[in-house]
Amino acid sequence: TGAKVTVVRNDVPMAQLKKFIIDKAISHIIISPGPGAPEDAGICIDLVKNYAGKIPLFGICLGFQAIVIAFGGKVGQVKEPCHGKSSDIDFQDSLLLAGLPNPFRAGRYHSLAATLVTDELKVSAQIDGLAMAVENQQQKVFAVQFHPESILTPQGNKILTNFFNQSTHQESELK
């Protein structure tokens, strides 16, 4: 996508992160995959609560789960964990998934999933009753349970491009 990427750990104090975002004019935030539960993922949930509607946000796997929780939803164990599973995922009315074949193939690596998604987030993709993508298009918040960066997701670059095409914040919104 040609995006300039800066990695920030999830244990950075929020005040330091806020200064960094303003000083570096950060235009988009991706909350990455990782191990464990979203409640144990440092500042991820607080980051969503502080920046939803100000900077386009994209959560992947653990980041998806953090976004679901930040918007009042719940996450729990799945009946059958998926690790390296390629799945056909159906979607509807999605800015993030626009231009993809429907269904599309995606790589899944997770043992947790959304068990409750509140009305503030629209479930835009699912498989077997599990939310695979959620969006709040007005606040420019997007998240996927699957892994667009995986070789098992052939259309992953298109998903990232769709996210980066979301317009950025106004500096006044960040202060």
Active site amino acids:
61, 147, 149
Distance CA 61, CA 145 (A): 4
Distance CA 13, CA 2 (A): 28
Distance CA 25, CA 40 (A): 28
CA 88 distance to own-chain centroid: 19
Dmax (CA) of the chain:
45
Q: Structure tokens of 56?
A: 């386009």
